[in-house]
Structure 1
Amino acid sequence: MKRLIVTTLLLNGLFLALLLPRYPWIPWIAADALLLTGLFAVLPGGRSKQLLAGAIGVLYALLAFFALSDVLIRQSIGRPFNLYLELGAAGSVFDLMESNLGLGLSLLVILVLSVAFAGLGGYVGRLLSQLGADTPARAGRLVAAAGAIAVAASWLPQSTVGLSASRLAATQIQLAADTHQSTLAFRQHLEDTPDAAQATPLAGLVDTDVILGFIESYGISAFTDPRYRPLISLRLDQMEEALEEDGLHIVTGRLRSPVQGGQSWLAHTTLLSGQWIKTQLDYEIFLASDFPTLIDDLDTTGHETVAVMPAITEAWPEGQAFGYNRIYESSTMDYRGPAFNWVTMPDQYTWSWFQRSVRDRAETPLFAEIALISSHAPWVPVLPVLKDWDSIGDGETFNQWKDSGEAPASLWRNPERVREHYGRALDYALNVATEYAIRHVDNQTLLVLIGDHQPAPLITGEKASRDVIVHIISADPELVAPFVANDRLPGFRWGAQPDRDREGPAMARFRPFLQQQFGEPGNTVEISATEPVEK
């Protein structure tokens, strides 16, 4: 009887440890643990019981892995664990670990976690297999009955009787089914919109260089959160003043990103396509569809289309699917300086190289998509902005900061210091972008600086807006004026500071807006039917 009580308490604690992160309230009963304890207390001993206990242990180890994954995913990209989506992301997760921790430490972390999960599963299996010998049958049946009642009660809507791993498993199954149906609906939507499946020349931009700079993790929280607002608001004031002194005009607004904390390519594709692309499956379906994007619009207009992707370090077949005329990635950007953890090269080099090696050599108007990655986690080290841009050259000058700053593994032990570094890295990215604009934006340039997504919930807090900040800059006021007080893309206003209180429209509205404002007269392109409805 004593073994039954101790095992019940131990298993209840082990299951609660896995289930609690999913709930805002504190229950006391892990229903499945109670049911399993009772069942194994009345099962006869033997080989079959040992095998069944081992199988339950394996299932518990998997549940432990899923529970940890859920916590990490919620903290990194602001959504719950979805096994249907996560199966295809393992490679990207390992690449991120390797770039921040190194191959050796990454493998060590995986080994330690594997041993820990195996140990937990083995412990649960041993606890269950040892039940029964000294347990009164009546007591076992009572515990099993109580467990069955608790499991049933846990399935009731808004139940607070107990927690059930079986209900969470069913939730994952339902989530997978819903995600599958959502992807099928998205595929059908692309097939059912033939009128939109064609490029639209943007006659109003025919002689204009269009530069789209995605600033990593430039979310609205950088401006609205009291922890970052003093630094970033001051930077935006300085940006506005510097641009105005140079005769440039700036308009600022907000757009809602489909993602948070990561998967930047989903935000990029949403903006370029005018379709709401929030999952990897949507992304893959879109790439296979040959549906046109802003790249095609400007290619049809007569622009040379280029992608500048310093974070790309391996083969990127998706880039070919987008149809760029040229793609530049880390190995083709002539950089001879050091990498800074995940950041392959600083933004100042990216801007400098783009101007020297791409824009200055262009014989036709350009459309350039540029990924600006200095504000990508782990946000260490934060470099100074070099005053002499001519000294940047091939980037060897950045060797003076090689191995500067502390290791990410050390910094990330202190969340407050991580947040401080995030603000400083973003301040650097905005400062460099402003300096580029002052030097190279003229009346035949439309520069769009936009965040790809908010940083992780660790930085923003839970339930933060998914809006990002957008700056439209040109020396020609007629290029930026259409963005102001326009109901088709509401919320934009003159200056560098966005509206703190008014939420932005979806990123998917940006391409249709450009088509409406800069396309041929009479253009009647409608906003994407896939724009999300807030619930």
Structure 2
Amino acid sequence: MRQAAVALLIVLAINLLLVAPEWWMPYTAFPYPWLAAETLVIVGLLMMLPAGWARWIAPPLAALLLISVALALSDLGTGLALGRPMNLLIDLPLAASVEHLLRGAIGGLLAWLTLGAGALVITALMFGLSRGLQHLALPGRRLPLSLLGVALVGVGLLLNHYRDAWPIGLAVDSPALIRFSDQAERMHRTASEREAFASALAASERPVERSMERLDGRDVILAFIESYGVTMLRDARYRATGEAALADLSDSLESAGLSAVTTTLRSPVQGGQSWLAHGSALSGRWISNQIRYDLFLDASGPSLIRDFDAAGYETAALMPAITDPWPAGRQWGYDQIHDHGRIDYAGPPLNWVTMPDQYTWHYFQTAIREPARAPLFAELALISSHAPWTPILPIVDWNAVTDGSVFHRWADAGPSPGNVWSDGERVRRHYARAVDYALRTAGEWAARDLGDGVLILLGDHQPAPLITGDDASREVPVHIIARDESLLAEFRRLGFRSGVMPQGRGIGTLADLRGYLLAVFDDGQENPVPDPASVKATVAPSRH
């Protein structure tokens, strides 16, 4: 009797392990299964086989179960963080990014302890699951038990076959089978997409001589604000903060004789992987995953960097968050790359954020723009609005910024990341305040130092679904700021709206931005003018 009770508990534990991740899965129309058909198949298989065979196959079965659970948890994690399910073909390199983010948020020692604890949990689960399955392989079993095993396998297979039919679909699912089949389908689709994208790059547009005549030698700055999406303006929880920040931005510009036009464009990503958004804007290609990014760089295709280089511009990238070697920067073809190691910053890191935006703008002006010997095209990554959104700094006197040591007083300011992220409302408030800081800082810099240059200030992507909700748009605001009204009038002709507040509907994707810029800046040349009606539709991930 005791042995039967233990066996029942093991079966219930296996079933719970399979179905529990489904209860929180973002990508499902049926989130609450209570029976996994695979549980019946596994238990039945162990009951019908000879005990010796059953003990041998228990560890491989345990490994398959753990892999399916890992796939489910990965889908859950990428769903919450990036707004999409996980794809093994493109997402394995993100493991290093997770470790990097952990180090920045909680420190190196705690990050490694957390990862080590996770490895121990996985090892313990593998051992416990193997032993539990072996416990079901009872020696000297009678014929009725073997027949019961055959019946369980048959019932499990039937339930799997009819899992979408009523009323079976009200309670039964096949989580492990779904995880493996969905992952295989995603990888196959991605491999096919890779071939198609590579073929498109091989037939890439021919190089065109650029003059950027309309710019008349003005500097052009492409500045991405981390996690700045339309959520700041359309979600009732953030709208007041976002509108106030844009009103302040408008006032700063107006005081300096600057004007703006604005639209929204759809980003290929959400919650992370900012470089794919940057790559889409720079290349004029829809770069929605790492494979496309790598293929584009290997092909050395046309991009804004090469466009401006051909027009005699000096090109620079300012990337304060890049702390490791960045070979992609050389592949893009920048004349100068200012990553974290090259930036002369004497202030403190602020959790994951290596330096505040105010210093990034100061460094750009004094170390890159002022020494430039030719018109400048620069890409900036502004990271103060990157998670974990603590601490939130005030804007200090710009003359006091100097080497950044002035920011030491805020090295330990504000709540810890753990404290912020322990409460959903608190983390959302901090997100809004971080974007508010980024917008106001950009506005103050532009009023002080933009002069006759052109600033393209835009978001890279929406924040994670935790902040936006599951069904939020992936559009990001794009502001083009300049003193030359005739230049801005050309953008209005293409669908941009006067001022800093975007219209309700966007006019394309970030992949269209290059075409819009060339259509105005390089007037008279052969340029890829986007069709606003050709906005790409978001492909919803399939569940079954």
CA distance 1:471–1:524, shift in 2 (3 Å): closer
Using the TM superposition, name which of 303-312 and 145-154 deviates more.
Answer: 145-154
- Pick from 195, 210, 216 the counterpart of residue 226 of structure 2: 216
Shift of 1:156: 7.8
1:171 aligns with 2:158: no
The two structures have a TM-score, normalised by structure 1, of 0.93
Match of 1:231 in 2: 241
The residue identity in structure 1 corresponding to 2:158 is: I
Aligned AA (2:195): L
Q: Within 5 Å, which residues of 2 pair with 1:132-171?
A: 132-133=137-138, 136-154=145-163, 160=169, 162-164=172-174, 165-171=176-182
Q: Which residue of 2 aligns with 1:181?
A: 192
> Helix, strand or coil: the match of 1:96?
helix
Q: Would the alpha carbon gap of residues 157 and 267 (structure 1) be closer, same or farther in structure 2, given more than 3 Å must change? A: farther
Q: Distance in 2 between matches of 1:74 and 1:148?
A: 29
In the alignment, which residue of structure 2 is the partner of 1:321? 331
Partner amino acid for 1:471? H
For 1:385-420, what per-residue CA distance to the aligned partner results, in whole angstroms no more than 9, with x for missing partners?
01x211110011111111112221222111211111
In structure 1, the residue matched to 2:402 is: 393
**Corresponding residue to 2:263 among 246, 253, 264:** 253
Residue in 2 aligned with 1:100? Answer: 105
Alignment of 1:336-347 (within 5 A): 336-347=346-357
Could you tell me how far apart the structure 1 residues matched to 2:372 and 2:157 are? 72
Q: Distance in 2 between matches of 1:143 and 1:416?
A: 47
For residues 203 and 168 of structure 2, the distance between their equivalents in structure 1, rounded to whole angstroms, comes to 42
Contact 1:58 1:122 in 2 (8 A): no
Deviation (angstroms), 1:170: 1.5
> Does the aligned pair in 2 maintain the 1:75–1:456 contact within 8 Å?
yes
User: CA separation of 1:315/1:5 partners in 2, compared to 1, >3 Å: closer, same or farther?
Assistant: closer
Residue 542 of structure 2: aligned partner: none
Which of 31, 38, 46 in structure 2 is aligned with 1:32?
38
C-alpha displacement of 1:379 = 0.5
CA, structure 1 residues 240+332, in 2 after alignment: closer, same or farther (shift >3 Å)?
same
Identity of aligned residues (%): 40
Distance 1:248 1:123 in 2: 66
Quote the offset at 1:62 in angstroms.
Answer: 2.0
Q: Aligned residue for 1:193?
A: 204
Tell me which residue corresponds to 1:52. Answer: 57
Q: 1:423 aligns with which of 428, 432, 448?
A: 432
Structure 2 equivalent of residue 494 of structure 1: 498
| Matched residue, 1:68 | 73
Q: Contact 1:222–1:423 at 8 Å: present in 2 too?
A: yes
Deviation digits for residues 308-365 of structure 1 (CA, Å, limit 9, x no counterpart): 1111111111101111111111122210010101111111011111111221222221
1:250 positional shift: 1.1
Distance 2:456 2:481 in 1: 6
Letter in 2 for 1:304: E
Is residue 263–residue 506 contact of structure 2 (8 Å, CA) maintained in 1?
A: no
SS at match of 1:213: strand
Please give the per-residue CA displacement for 1:198-243, whole angstroms capped at 9, x wherever unaligned: 5643221241110111111110001111111111101111221232
- Residue of structure 2 aligned with 1:405, choices 414, 427, 435: 414
Structure-2 separation of matches of 1:179 and 1:95: 26
Q: Which moved more, 1:6-15 or 1:137-146?
A: 6-15
Aligned 8 A contact 1:275 1:528 in 2: no
Q: CA deviation at 1:467?
A: 0.4
Change (3 A) 1:288 1:159: farther
Residues 227 and 386, structure 2, Cα contact 8 Å, conserved in 1? yes
Q: Between 135-144 and 388-397, report the one with greater CA deviation.
A: 135-144
Paired with 2:531 and 2:498, the residues of 1 have a C-alpha distance of 26
Residue of structure 1 equivalent to 2:521: 518
- 5+ unaligned residues in a row in structure 2: which ranges? 540-544
Which stretch of the first structure deviates more once superposed, 343-352 or 472-481?
Answer: 472-481
Q: Read off the aligned partner of 1:315 and give its amino acid letter.
A: P
The answer to whether the 8 Å contact 1:248/1:474 transfers is yes
C-alpha deviations, 1:412-447, integer Å up to 9, x for none? 1112111111111111111110100111122x3111
CA deviation string 1:489-529 (max 9, x = no partner): x3x21111112x31341111111122222224253535499
1:172 maps to a residue whose letter is: Q
Change (3 A) 1:520 1:230: closer
Checking the alignment, whether the CA contact within 8 Å between 2:267 and 2:474 is kept in structure 1 is yes
**Equivalence for 2:87:** 82
Return the alpha-carbon distance in structure 1 between the equivalents of residues 238 and 399 of structure 2.
Answer: 32
Tell me the SS of whatever aligns to 1:130.
helix
Name the SS of the counterpart of 2:389 in structure 1: coil
Separation in structure 2 between the aligned mates of residue 534 and residue 94 of structure 1, nearest angstrom: 29
- Cα deviation, residue 136, structure 1: 2.3
Q: Deviations over 1:176-217 (max 9, x none)?
A: 01001111111110111243x556432212411101111111
Where 2:111 maps in the other structure, the secondary structure is helix
Which range moves more in the overlay, 48-57 or 303-312?
48-57
Residue matched to 2:483: 475
3-state SS of the aligned residue for 2:51?
coil
Distance 2:406 2:529 in 1: 49
Q: Residue 353 of structure 1 aligns with which residue?
A: 363
Distance (whole Å) between structure 2 residues aligned to residue 167 and residue 338 of structure 1: 47
Q: Which residue of 2 aligns with 1:265?
A: 275
Please tell me the residue identity of whatever aligns with 1:513: Y
Q: Paired residues, what number? A: 526
CA distance in 2, matches of 1:221, 1:73: 19
Cα distance in 1, alignment partners of residues 208 and 58 from structure 2: 59
Measured after TM superposition, the shift of residue 481 of structure 1 is 1.6
Q: Deviations over 1:142-194 (max 9, x none)?
A: 21211121222348899826221123201211110100111111111011124
Is the CA contact 1:508–1:528 (under 8 Å) kept in the aligned structure 2? no
Show structure 1 runs of 4+ deviating over 6 A: 155-159, 528-531
Aligned to 1:464: 472
> How far off its partner does 1:121 sit?
2.8
For 1:63 and 1:98, the matched residues in 2 are separated by 28
Instruction: Tell me, yes or no, if the aligned pair for 1:275 and 1:531 is still in contact at 8 Å.
Output: no
Provide TM-score, normalisation by structure 2. 0.92
RMSD of aligned residue pairs (Cα, Å):
2.2
Query: Which is worse superposed, 80-89 or 468-477?
Result: 80-89
CA contact (8 A) 2:210 2:307 kept: yes
Letter of the 1:453 partner, please give it: H
Cα drift, residue 460 of structure 1: 0.7
- Aligned twin of 2:16: 13
**8 Å CA contact 1:206, 1:302 repeated in 2:** no
